[in-house]
């Protein structure tokens, strides 16, 4: 036990405690004072919790992956199973397939052939979703609908790993709903907070990868040091995270500051100064087309919908974490 505590990453544990405290305060205290305050605070805590789940996926704050998973067990978003998030995100970290509409589960692109088969109204929806304003307003709904269709196909095909992920999600979501049900916060208000929390996460995922012929040019650096950087646990320095996926969130800025030219050299200068710049440039103007401009213009036999996933050797990964 003492050895485990010495090896623990206390900044992550402290932030996790603060996250649950903020969530509890919003649900039980602030909701009695003003829902106009409680809902945004709860949404921020929900988004922060998702960022902390991302840390857990990469082996933090303890060496035991089961203990780490237990720390983020409550499904505060209600709609994203942790095990499914883990599986898809680890698949996303295969950098060779980044942005690929078929092989990258977190790609925001579609294959051109699949795009052409869509009805006109749906193309309009996805074009709107490719602006930052659209991503914030309809992104969580669009992503969830398309992703659930994909999950349903996998379940019908008998994918036991998908079934296991959703079965474990049921008690995690039920726990949250029971707590909300006995709190002063109305269920509708919590659902609004969960949606808003997912919208906040869309700011991070909006342009963290781009279509580029070279793998190293696909991952962004956003030199932001404000509240959103904390909310996203410095994943705005995204190429640093992809190059050092096992480094905890609070060490990423130091790595970048130690040699920014190295990371900007790796990604070919794919950089934004701040999230303010991103809002100014892309709030109502899409950064990319929906169909992937480079990869796989011909569709596969069945349409692929992972392109709008809401949030990506897994046994080997878990064993590696256990052996740390």
pLDDT in tens, 218-247: 999 999 999 999 999 999 999 999 999 999
Residue 186 to residue 87: CA distance in whole angstroms: 33
Residue 304 above 60 pLDDT? no
Residue 268 to residue 263: CA distance in whole angstroms: 8
Q: What is the pLDDT of residue 303?
A: 40
Residue 169 to residue 163: CA distance in whole angstroms: 10
Q: What is the pLDDT of residue 317?
A: 35
Average pLDDT of span 88-117: 86
Residue 45 to residue 21: CA distance in whole angstroms: 9
User: Among 26-30, 207-211, 238-242, 249-253, where is mean pLDDT lowest?
Assistant: 207-211
Decide if 75 contacts 169 (C-beta within 8 A).
yes
Query: Which residue do the tokens 């960022």 mark?
Result: 51
Report the 10 Å Cβ neighbour count for 255: 18
Residue 318 above 80 pLDDT? no
Phi, psi of 270 (to 5 degrees): -75, 95
Residue 312 above 50 pLDDT? no
Q: HSE on the CB side for 207, CA within 13 Å?
A: 23
Our CA angle for 20, 24, 30, nearest 5°, is 135
Label residue 302 by pLDDT band (50, 70, 90).
Answer: very low
pTM of the model: 0.89
Residue 7 to residue 13: CA distance in whole angstroms: 12
Residue 118 to residue 105: CA distance in whole angstroms: 20
Q: What is the pLDDT of residue 269?
A: 94
**Residue 59, phi-psi category: left (phi > 0), alpha (psi -120 to 50), beta (remainder):** left
Label residue 1 by pLDDT band (50, 70, 90).
Answer: low
Decide if 271 contacts 222 (C-beta within 8 A).
yes
**Residue 247, SS3 per DSSP:** coil
Residue 91 above 50 pLDDT? yes
What's the pLDDT tens digit per position in 130-189?
A: 999 999 999 999 999 999 999 999 999 999 999 999 999 999 999 999 999 999 999 999
């Amino acid at each position: 036990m003492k050895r485990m505590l010495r090896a623990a990453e206390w900044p992550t544990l402290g932030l996790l405690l603060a996250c649950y405290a903020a969530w509890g305060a919003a649900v039980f205290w602030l909701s009695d004072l003003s829902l106009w305050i409680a809902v945004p605070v709860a949404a921020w805590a929900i988004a922060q919790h998702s960022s902390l789940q991302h840390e857990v996926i990469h082996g933090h704050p303890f060496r035991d992956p089961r203990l780490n998973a237990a720390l983020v067990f409550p499904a505060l978003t209600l709609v994203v199973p942790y095990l499914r998030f883990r599986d898809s995100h680890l698949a996303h970290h295969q950098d060779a397939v980044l942005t690929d509409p078929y092989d990258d589960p977190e790609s925001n692109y579609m294959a051109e052939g699949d795009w052409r088969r869509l009805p006109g109204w749906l193309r309009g929806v996805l074009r709107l979703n490719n602006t930052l304003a659209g991503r914030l307003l309809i992104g969580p709904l669009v992503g969830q609908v398309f992703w659930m269709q994909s999950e349903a196909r996998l379940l019908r095909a008998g994918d036991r790993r998908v079934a296991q992920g959703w079965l474990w999600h049921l008690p995690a979501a039920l726990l949250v709903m029971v707590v909300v049900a006995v709190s002063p916060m109305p269920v509708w208000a919590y659902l609004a907070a969960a949606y808003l929390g997912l919208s906040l996460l869309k700011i991070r995922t909006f342009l963290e990868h781009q279509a580029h012929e070279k793998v190293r040019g696909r991952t962004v650096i956003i030199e932001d040091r404000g509240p959103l950087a904390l909310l996203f646990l410095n994943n705005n320095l995204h190429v640093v995270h992809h190059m050092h996926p096992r480094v905890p969130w609070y060490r990423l800025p130091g790595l970048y500051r130690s040699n920014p030219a190295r990371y900007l050299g790796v990604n070919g200068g794919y950089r934004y100064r701040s999230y303010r710049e991103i809002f100014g440039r892309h709030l109502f103007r899409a950064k990319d087309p929906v169909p992937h401009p480079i990869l796989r213009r011909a569709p596969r036999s069945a349409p692929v919908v992972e392109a709008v996933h809401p949030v990506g050797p897994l046994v080997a990964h878990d064993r590696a974490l256990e052996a740390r």
